Structures are given as structure tokens and as C-alpha cells.
Amino acid sequence: MKVLIVGGGGREHALAWKIAQSPMVSRVFCAPGNAGTASVAGNIPLEPTDLDSLAAFARKEGIDLTVVGPEAPLVAGLADFFSTRGLRVFGPTKAAAQIEGSKVFTKELMRKYDIPSAAFEVFDGPQEARRYVEKRGGPLVVKADGLAAGKGVIVCGTTQEALTAVDLIMEEKAFGEAGERVIVEEMLCGEETSYIVLTDGERMLPMPPSQDHKPVFDGDTGPNTGGMGAYAPAPVVSPEVEERIMGEVMEPTVKAMAAEGKPYRGVLYAGLMIQDGRPRVLEFNARMGDPETQPLLMLMEGDPMPALLAIADGELSENIELQWSPGASVCVVMASGGYPGEYDKGHEIRGLEQVSKMEDVQVFHAGTRLDEDRVVTSGGRVLGVTARGKDVGAAVQAAYRAAKGIDWDGVHYRKDIGAKALARKGV
């Protein structure tokens, strides 16, 4: 069986690494991939939103399943495009992918179906948004409606910060067309967690709860990024909290999408705020998280292909389950200096060969490329150094031990990934 993975980041390297281990799979391709995916898959120089070329490649190569990593091709309708051409694809339709493609759609869906989230208002122009901010007062959260590479949410502690955020999104067009509309909502308190399920539109296969680290600097300071690290499982989600997440968030959302005529197949990712055991939705994503995918797949036992194929066919039977190893996994994202702002490219990465020999460690590439026989930086988030251990503490130590063995000019990474888990007893 041949599999095509669409995307070129750390998430896609992790997917290629895991899927390539399946006894069902003879060949994996990545479009466009990176220097890391080249070790487990054939890299194809096609952009994730070039639907015509991707479909032509899938038909010519006889691809049996296409797995879509990032959100942009899903929102652009890749799943529909492939399905109408008889190509099997894992990922939600364009209509269902609105759950990530439009924050306004999602907030209104949650309000209609009583799915717990923050109170909000939607604005089409900056003047109305500013008037509301001044009337309501901070703290507030200002969100661009559309896709913004995980950076379109601005947490504002004061009224002035919220006014500045409105101007940044709507006047300065920092996120382009994604900022044509904004949501201004109350700031939720508590501890964030990521909760991801695979679903065929009815049945769900949950993954362990994980926790992303969005801000660029230690202590959750500085601007938001695509994610500076993650770990799983996240102890903030107790069995009782997980039961509430499934019963109050995930199941009602899947049913709501079906009721709206947008049946959901693929990955459904809820970004949640947990306070006093109560989950409330910050956002939904239509794909696996990056970097959450890396530690989750390090913990996954067995073959993911039966579940992926069954979901693609809309036939997830009860005899298909996901298995998870005990312990914990931690991913530390190593980034280019200056990220998420401007940064240099082309720096040679040193130490990869030595770190690859470490037990229970995988280095997943994101912003890398091959320059003859060298691996060099080509993006903001460059590597996801991921380790597994008997608990979060052991996994943290292993991940940072590996990260210290890798270097390039200007490298930056947070030193406190997993700190919230370590502050809890028994993890």
C-alpha cells in the first residue's frame, strides 16, 4: 500500500515516521516534505495547496491513501477534490474544515448547540470593534476569523492592548484576509490543554490529552508562535475531566456538525481551557496539532493505518482501537533566532547524527532542507526534539539532553517545556 502525506513540517515527519513502520505500507511519499522526511519517505516538490498536481501524482503513482497534515489544503477543499476523483483521503471536507477555517462559524456553532466556550461578539469593521472593546474593557482576547498559521489569537491584558490588537488585525492587515472579521471574547482562566480525537463522523478514538506551549519565551511570555513544545499526557486532564470533555465537547460537536449537514471525518482537535475541572473550548482545529503530534505518535503503539483507512471510508468499527504505551513523551521545539519575527535561513545544523543514536529519542524535522550533504535551517521552527520516558520528568530530561547535543548559529528554544506538569505531584 502506498501513502501520500501532504505537508512539510514536524507533524508530517512524525506521521511519515509512524506510517512507514506499518506492515501494510510499502512506500510513503511527502509533499513537499523536508530533510527529515527524506529518510523515511520520498519527497515530492509539490505545494500542499496545489490540488491539481497532488491529485495527478496520487493517480499516477497509485496512491492508496492520502493523509493531509496542515489546515490550509483542507480549508481549500483537498478532501473534496480527491474524493470526487476516486482518490481515498483522510481529512475533513471543505465544509467540515470550516471548524478551523472560520472562528466565527465555530463560535456560532458552539453557541447554537450549547458547547461550553467564552462569551463573544463578532465585528466586520474596526470602528465597531474598538467601541465594543472600550465599553467592555480588558482583559480580552482578539481573534482573526480566518487561518493565520496559529498566530491570529492575541491575548490582551488591558483595554489598550485589545485596541492595539484590533488595529493590528483589521487596519494593518497583519494576517491578511484572515482579519476581515474579528472576534472579541472574554478571557478564560485556567490551564490549557489539547484534546484530539479521530472520528468517522459518529464513533471517536481519543488520543491522550497533551499540552502545547504557544508563547516563544519561558514562562509563557512573548508573542504567540505555532508552538514551542508539547508533552503528553497532560495531568490537568484527570479521568473525570476527560469524561466531561468527551460528553460536553467532543460528542456534541461531532453531532452538531452532522446536524448542520457537514459530517466530520478525520482529526478533530479541541484547544481547551480547564478551570476547576470544567472544560471550555478556546478553538477547534481540523488536523493534528504541531507539535502535539510528535509526542503523541511517540506514545502510540501498533499500527495507525487500520484506523486511518476506516475513517477515510466512513466505517470506523468497534474492533478498531488505538493503543498507547505507558509513561510520557515530551517535544522541545528548536527554532531560528528571531522567530516568530524575521530570522535567517541556511545555517548548518550540527549534532544530528550523534543525537540519532540516543535511545527513546526522535528528532522530527520541520524547517530544514538538504544542501548537498548538509542539513540546514529553512524555517522558523526547525526541529522537534522528542523523547519518551517513564514519566514526564524523565521525558523532559531526555528531551533536553538531546537538545543540548544539537546546535546552529542563532538557535533558540524554551527551557521550561513540561513545567506545569512537573509542578504537579506524581508525574
Looking at the DSSP bridge assignments, the partners of residue 356 are none
Position 426 scores a pLDDT of 56
Position 318 scores a pLDDT of 86
Rounded CA-CA distance 278/190 in Å is 9
Rounded CA-CA distance 102/29 in Å is 30
Class of domain 2-94: alpha beta
CB–CB of 17/49 below 8 Å? no
Residue the block writes with cell 514536524: 10
Strand-pair category, 140-144 with 182-186? antiparallel
CB–CB of 112/89 below 8 Å? no
Q: Determine if residue 402 is left, alpha or beta; phi over 0 gives left, psi from -120 to 50 gives alpha, anything else beta.
A: alpha
Q: Is residue 127 exposed (0-12), middle (13-18) or buried (19+ Cβ within 10 Å)? A: exposed
CB–CB of 304/221 below 8 Å? no
For the chain, give the number of residues: 427
* pLDDT per residue as tens digits for the range 126-146: 999 999 999 999 899 999 999
CB–CB of 192/292 below 8 Å? no
pTM: 0.94
Position 131 scores a pLDDT of 95
- The yes or no reply on domain 191-422 and CATH 3.30.470.20 is yes
Position 263 scores a pLDDT of 97
Position 427 scores a pLDDT of 59
Q: Do domains 119-186 and 191-422 have the same CATH topology?
A: no
Rounded CA-CA distance 94/78 in Å is 7
The H or E element that residue 126 is part of is: helix 126-136
Query: Please, what sign has the CA dihedral across residues 323, 208, 150, 342?
Result: negative
Cell for 41? 519517505
Q: Tell me which residue of 41, 44, 35 sits closest to 353, measured CA to CA.
A: 35
Q: How far is CA 309 from CA 57, 96, 164, in A?
A: 20, 19, 46
Rounded CA-CA distance 201/255 in Å is 8
Rounded CA-CA distance 169/178 in Å is 8
Phi, psi of 158 (to 5 degrees): -130, 165
Residues 6 or more apart in contact with residue 39 via CB below 8 angstroms: none
Domain boundaries, the chain: 2-94, 119-186, 191-422
Rounded CA-CA distance 251/226 in Å is 27
R_g of the chain computed on alpha carbons? 21
Position 56 scores a pLDDT of 98
Position 425 scores a pLDDT of 63
How is domain 119-186 classified at the CATH fold level? Dna Ligase; domain 1 (3.30.1490)
Residues 6 or more apart in contact with residue 140 via CB below 8 angstroms: 133, 156, 159, 162, 184, 185, 186, 187
Looking at the DSSP bridge assignments, the partners of residue 408 are none
What does pLDDT average to in each consecutive run of 10 residues of the chain (427 residues)?
98 98 98 98 98 98 98 97 98 98 96 97 95 94 88 91 96 93 95 97 97 95 93 97 98 98 98 97 96 98 97 92 96 97 97 96 98 96 98 97 98 97 77
Rounded CA-CA distance 176/180 in Å is 8
